[in-house]
Copies of this chain bind each other. A is one copy, B any other.
Amino acid sequence: MNILTQQAQFDHPCPIRNVLHRIGDQWSLLVLETLSRKTLRFNEIGREINDISKQMLSRTLKRLEQDGFITRTVFAEVPPRVEYALTDVGRSFLVPMQALVQWADANHATICESRRQY
Q: Does any Cβ of B come within 8 Å of A4's Cβ? A: yes
A-B pairs, 3 with minimum CB distance: A68-B114, A14-B112, A19-B104
For A1-42 the 0/1 string (1 means CB < 8 A from B) is: 111110011000111111111011110011001100100000
State which of B2, B20, B30 has its C-beta within 8 Å of the C-beta of A48. B2
Closest residue of chain B to A16, judged by CB? B104
Find out whether the CB atom of A20 lies under 8 angstroms from the CB atom of B67: no
Q: Does any Cβ of B come within 8 Å of A57's Cβ? A: no
Find out whether the CB atom of A96 lies under 8 angstroms from the CB atom of B107: no
Find out whether the CB atom of A68 lies under 8 angstroms from the CB atom of B20: no
Q: Does any Cβ of B come within 8 Å of A55's Cβ? A: no
Closest residue of chain B to A98, judged by CB? B96
